[in-house]
A and B are shown apart, each in its own frame.
Chain A
Amino acid sequence: MSGHEHDDLHHHDHDHSELSETQLRVRALETVLTEKGYVDPAALDLLIETYEKKVGPRNGARVVARAWVDSDYRTRLLKDATPAIAEVGYAGRLGEHIVALENTPKLHNMVVCTLCSCYPWPVLGLPPIWYKSAPYRSRAVADPRGVLADFGVTLPKDTEIRIWDSTAEIRYLVLPMRPAGTEGWSEERLANLVTRDSMIGTGLPKTPGDLK
């Protein structure tokens, strides 16, 4: 595999030997599985390319932006998100049952998977490290305002905070509030305001000022 020539370990110098051990084991297993014909090497490369380059939070941003400009779409998205998201072209693995959660001035939704790393892949891609990490998984359910503070987000004291722990195969996508000052904006322009974290609930969308 040509990709093996580019192993990037320089930022893990403190435990270089341990990671090298992992790296060697991964290479060994990949070789054995390939030689036995259980895996198609081209399939591995394509899987990596798909989740590294094609599937990511830009997908979810398009869904959110459409909901912001098209009230019929918004209604369909909130009623049954899976087919509404499929309308925009996203479906499949780990997104079989998606529920969209509407943020309002009185209610803020935030999504976690305390037991592993469940995440709506077709619309957000693979989860960031912090989402899979012990600090987030442990505190999101018990101290969400503290977690939001880690992200630099402060909500009004009386805003209800609703945490969705993804314990089954239902995947949750937060529909953030449309930022003020975006009247008349196109769907495409609005999508630039939609951040990954705003669709998890640990962030808010960018404002028009942030784009300047």
Chain B
Amino acid sequence: MNGAQDMGGKHGFGPVEPEPDEPVFHAEWEKRAFALTLAMGMPGGWNIDMARFARENRSPAEYLSMSYYQIWFAALEKMTKERGLVSDDEIAAGHSLHPPKSVKRVLAAGDIAKTLHRSASTERETNTQAIFKSGDAVRAKNIQPLTHTRLPAYVRGHIGTIERVIGCHVFPDSNAIGAGENPQWLYTVRFDGRELWGAHADATVRVSIDAWEPYLEPA
């Protein structure tokens, strides 16, 4: 979706302000929201692309006025409610009022080291051949899906070069809407700064994205 999350090239946000000796979390509730989000992935049954869409799928004004973990938490509330794991009256009461739904698995403390260390690779076996090879000129398609996509707006319609054929990976645009993993070839595509930002842009800048084959066409 063309939401506020797609920030590349937008103006007016001001300078980057690094925080000296920044703590990992800035409030106790951030820690809880973070841990709840990680822990609920397993019983919740959603995938990372669904979670990303739940975070970005809100009005730009709302997205930009919320802190990072407020967005995470809002998405967690939404996903747990949508799946009937909790209900509004329970959140209002601050207690469980209805019997729990049966869930596939709960993340136990004893399994955390193993779970975090385990690879959740998005690479998949395929019988298909990659259409593009390193060095090919490609154009990022002008697509404007209302649903989740990982093709940033600032490259759409622009010509770049395939730098690397990465492999065949889960396709977020499908995975986010429950249409299956639909693995697609993934490439690193490099663009000249001037192709993206105009003739007066810094000629020493090059920008790459990682783009799935359905995002690209021969140029």
Contact = CB atoms under 8 A, between A and B. Distances in A.
- 10 closest A-B pairs by beta carbon, nearest first, are A168-B210, A114-B8, A42-B109, A36-B100, A35-B96, A44-B35, A28-B94, A137-B7, A134-B13, A47-B35
A166 interface: yes
A157 B204 contact: yes
Interface string A129-146: 110111111111111110
A4 interface: yes
Nearest to A90: B117
Contacts of A141: 8-9, 154, 196, 207
Interface in A110-144: 114-117, 125-126, 128-130, 132-144
B145 interface: no
Nearest to A93: B116
A33 B86 contact: yes
B108 A7 contact: no
Interface of A: 1, 3-4, 6-9, 11-12, 19, 22-23, 25-33, 35-40, 42-48, 50-52, 56, 91-93, 96-97, 114-117, 125-126, 128-130, 132-145, 147, 150-151, 157-170, 197, 202
Interface in B1-52: 5-11, 13-19, 22, 24-29, 31-36, 38-40, 43-44, 52
18 contacts: A26-B73, A32-B86, A37-B106, A38-B103, A39-B36, A39-B107, A43-B107, A43-B108, A44-B32, A44-B35, A44-B36, A46-B109, A97-B121, A114-B6, A114-B154, A135-B15, A138-B8, A165-B208
B131 interface: no
A163 B29 CA distance: 33
A48 B170 CA distance: 28
B7 A38 contact: no
A30 B96 CA distance: 10
A160 B206 contact: yes
A145 B201 CA distance: 11
Given A29-B36, A51-B24, A96-B119, A167 B210 contact: yes
A125 B28 CA distance: 18
Q: What interface size band does chain B fall in?
A: 35 or more
B65 to A, nearest CB: 9
Contact of A48 (B35, B86, B103, B116): B35
A38 B91 contact: no
B117 A130 contact: no
Contacts of A151: 16, 18
A38 B18 CA distance: 37
Contacts of A33: 36, 40, 80, 85-86
A22 B120 CA distance: 31
A164 B10 contact: no
B120 A93 contact: yes
A142 B204 contact: no
A6 B28 contact: yes
